[in-house]
Structure 1
Amino acid sequence: MNRLRVTSGPVHALAALWLTTRGLMLWLLVHDSTPLLGGGSVTREVSQLYFRWYGVLAHGSFPTHDTLWQYPPAAGAVLLAPGLLPWLTYFQAFVVLTLAMDALVTAALTRTGTRPGRSLLGAALWTGGLPLLLHLPLARYDVQVTALAVLSLLALGRSPRAGGVYAALGALVKVWPALVLLGTPRGRSTRGAWGWALAAGAASLGFFAVSFDHPLSFVREQGGRGVQIESLGGTALNLARHAGWPGGARYQYGAVELVGPQVRAAATASLTLTAVCFALLVLWRVRARRWSEATPCDAALCAVLLFTVTSRVISPQYMIWLVGLAAVCLTSRHTSQRPVAALVLVATALSTLVFPMHYGDVIDATWSGCLLMLARNLILAAAAVVSFTRLWRAARPESKSVHTTEPRPASHCLPERALNLS
């Protein structure tokens, strides 16, 4: 009874904050045509692009020969879902379902945060951090895929199998949720999570292969993507325009990309850095000796940060992923990622200044646009470095004299066999 009285106040405050901020996001969505909010560019993706794909998917086929279709098969299920609410327009139904998934994430984080030894900071970060992107989260399906990643991480401690299934479904919507399984403790937990993820992924792929034509058409279009203007490489090339670089910006493959000399080299550098980051993450997993309840969440945030920073595409909606994963980390009092969560929030706010508020300046490579983009990306890069450094240190034994893979238990960090994760 005492615990209920202690937690009911913060929970009610979170509910009030969610209702207030989501109401404001809906108001901004209605006024999307305002020039400062992008002049309609935010909502256009749902009302035109997603709706067009819905028409193709409803006839039993994935879009083919469409350079904008670059998503795995389960993305089709998300885009078809608004059809479940036929009394609403496609756009209205999409927003309603997105808000429902947002509420589900908030409820899951809140429920976890009210458990003994846990924290409501995660729910607070998600509730207050998502509106930093204004109305953008309501007009992209990244809230849905983030929800699957969040549910996967929250389920891993009690049921690795369920965590694996959620991760597989998320990966079939937008690939990156496969990374959330990186930090599962060695042994039974990893076998359960990874095994069920593979099984669920194979079964889902089989379903889409039987139910739709051309389920793998997205693979061909992914390979053609270049260097988006908001990526690290794009920022460097945009700054180079002030030093006489002859290239420029062009809309292609569903994004504003840079074209001209050295673009291919920038793309190759991004892919190389991604490979290096993958190798570092594998090295971390091989050498890690300590797992706490926070390790899977911390590793997931670190992995997605590293892959985001080195990507050829860093769209503003990618920040939804990072806010969600940072929120899961903060549900644990033993997370190593608190400074990273703060940096993610700052980068999220700057992303809004970039798009939709000053995107024209970024495209035109004005000094203000370049500096905004540079600040956002440098903060993301710093967050990635801090995240990996803290993850590495947290997984190493406290004493150099300890050489076993199962070190002496500490109050906040237990060896794998001491964790009840099965």
Structure 2
Amino acid sequence: MGAHPAALIGAFVLVHAWLIAGNLLLPGLPLGDVQLVYPFWASLGIAGEGWVGIDTAWVYPYPALLPMLAVYPFGQGLAGSLAWLLLMTALNALALVALAGVQRDVRRVAAAWWWLGFLTVLGPIALGRIDAVTAAVAVMAAAVLAEHPRWAGALIAAGAWVKVWPGALLLAALVAARRWVDVARGFVGVSVVVVAIGVLLGGGAALISPLTEQTGRGLQVESPLALPWMWAAGLGGDSVIAYDREILTWQVTGPGTAAMAALATPLLAVVVAVILALAGIARRRGVTEELLLPALALALVAALVTVNKVGSPQFATWLAAPIVLGILLRAHGGLRFRVPATLALAAALLTQVIYPVEYGAVLRTETWMLVVLTTRTLLYAALLVWALVALIRAARGRMVSDGGEDPAAASREVEGASP
């Protein structure tokens, strides 16, 4: 497992021991969803009241029930919490194997060490939500994309059928990967099986409800788009924070929040369309997969995180896969990913401060926490801007490596003075 397997394995154990302890001991109810919400959803089907995602609309695709059902027999107490945390740890172990591999590959080892550092500073939320499943699967997909694109497509599908966001990696691969057809085949193969099983279980429109269930939501307090109203609430303005019992989350309301919530989805669609257009131009101009794919994947994922009215802390976990992809492809002439890798670590650290450590300060809109939220939002925006700059340079034909500009020089130009 890389040049120093014992050190990497030891670090993995220590990091996950810390994450498990943090989930069990830190304030702020880090495992609130695992202990309260997930068992409730699972119990509905077990009690014969209908399976969410199959019989009724749900915010997640129905396969997201699988890990919830897997730990349901252990109950909602300590046993159930440990079962969930150990299940997520096992998934991360698989991701480590996929990432570090079995050969002495320095780039893979570097990516694995970065990922473990990212998990460490992100803290309990790295394991304490359903996003931990998709984050691990997405890292696996990024790890095998270059050598095994069909497996990568299958893994992306597995992640997207738990929570939709890994679809961003599919879009990136379809535009920028040389073997995009293989990626598509892997994705379609898994998706056909999932849809067929869902239909056999009696599912209909509920199978696609995750695409529509978010449209009626307001601005969640941690969302980058909610930041102006959070400041207004903290400074004694007209904005108010309240708990929405229907969707089980804290939201901020005030003058203009309804309009912003309604605008969020169309705005995200426009941003994604612009990103894909830039990538399409770059692809037609001959920019290589190694240069284009990681920048495109990061741009799409950063857009999903930044231009989002939900903005849950666990969204930070999504950043790992495109960063890992960038680190891996650097070995083949890709962009230097030192800047976004550092920005992502800083955003993850602030996310841990926001949740669970000082979530009470978020709800009280304390000034220092508003500064933390603002800084974290600026880091997200910086990741998006970095990726957009890379795509713009690519679209202008300044990052071509086949018979054109040296890729190392191009990557240095994107990152400025980065060595």
* TM-score after normalising by structure 1: 0.83
The aligned runs of 1:378-389 (5 Å cut-off) are: 378-389=378-389
Amino acid paired to 2:218: G
Q: Would the alpha carbon gap of residues 339 and 280 (structure 1) be closer, same or farther in structure 2, given more than 3 Å must change?
A: same
Task: Find 1:408's aligned residue among 379, 384, 403.
Answer: 403
Partner of 1:167: 156
Partner of 1:308: 305
Cα distance in 2 between the residues matched to 1:19 and 1:395: 43
Deviations 1:281-330 (A, max 9, x none): 22122211211436433322221011210000111111111134312322
Partner of 2:129: 140
Deviations 1:140-191 (A, max 9, x none): 1212111222222233222322222211221111111111123336686222
Deviation of the 1:237 alpha carbon: 0.7
Partner of 1:280: 274
Cα distance in 2 between the residues matched to 1:366 and 1:216: 39
Partner of 2:339: 339
- Mean alpha-carbon deviation: is it higher for 309-318 or for 389-398? 389-398
Cα distance in 1 between the residues matched to 2:55 and 2:355: 25
C-alpha contact 2:362 2:369 (8 A) present in aligned 1: yes
Cα distance in 2 between the residues matched to 1:362 and 1:91: 25
Partner of 1:75: 64
Cα distance in 2 between the residues matched to 1:269 and 1:200: 33
Cα distance in 2 between the residues matched to 1:308 and 1:323: 12
C-alpha contact 2:279 2:292 (8 A) present in aligned 1: no
Structure 2 unaligned residues grouped into runs of 5+: 409-419
- Mean alpha-carbon deviation: is it higher for 236-245 or for 137-146? 236-245
Instruction: Tell me if 1:351 matches 2:351.
Output: yes
Deviation of the 1:411 alpha carbon: 6.8
Partner of 2:240: 248
Q: Would the alpha carbon gap of residues 147 and 65 (structure 1) be closer, same or farther in structure 2, given more than 3 Å must change?
A: closer
Task: Find 1:299's aligned residue among 264, 275, 296.
Answer: 296
C-alpha contact 2:302 2:319 (8 A) present in aligned 1: yes
C-alpha contact 1:63 1:217 (8 A) present in aligned 2: no
Q: Would the alpha carbon gap of residues 101 and 118 (structure 1) be closer, same or farther in structure 2, given more than 3 Å must change?
A: same
Q: Would the alpha carbon gap of residues 140 and 275 (structure 1) be closer, same or farther in structure 2, given more than 3 Å must change?
A: same
Partner of 2:116: 127
Deviation of the 1:112 alpha carbon: 7.6
Structure 1 unaligned residues grouped into runs of 5+: 414-422
Partner of 2:7: 13
Task: Find 1:183's aligned residue among 172, 189, 205.
Answer: 172
Partner of 2:32: 44
Task: Find 2:90's aligned residue among 81, 100, 118.
Answer: 100
Cα distance in 1 between the residues matched to 2:234 and 2:74: 50
Deviation of the 1:412 alpha carbon: 5.1
* TM-score after normalising by structure 2: 0.84
Deviations 1:79-131 (A, max 9, x none): 22336989x9433221111000111112221118833x734221011111112
Q: Secondary structure at the match of 1:250?
A: strand
Query: Taking every aligned residue pair, what percent have the same amino acid on both sides?
Result: 26
Q: Secondary structure at the match of 1:8?
A: coil
Q: Would the alpha carbon gap of residues 64 and 303 (structure 1) be closer, same or farther in structure 2, given more than 3 Å must change?
A: closer
Deviation of the 1:341 alpha carbon: 1.3
Q: Would the alpha carbon gap of residues 26 and 147 (structure 1) be closer, same or farther in structure 2, given more than 3 Å must change?
A: closer
Cα distance in 2 between the residues matched to 1:352 and 1:187: 34
Amino acid paired to 1:155: V
Q: Would the alpha carbon gap of residues 232 and 269 (structure 1) be closer, same or farther in structure 2, given more than 3 Å must change?
A: farther
Q: Secondary structure at the match of 2:154?
A: helix
Q: Secondary structure at the match of 1:297?
A: helix
Q: Would the alpha carbon gap of residues 96 and 325 (structure 1) be closer, same or farther in structure 2, given more than 3 Å must change?
A: same
Amino acid paired to 2:339: P
- Mean alpha-carbon deviation: is it higher for 71-80 or for 56-65? 56-65
CA RMSD, aligned part only?
3.1
Q: Would the alpha carbon gap of residues 114 and 320 (structure 1) be closer, same or farther in structure 2, given more than 3 Å must change?
A: farther
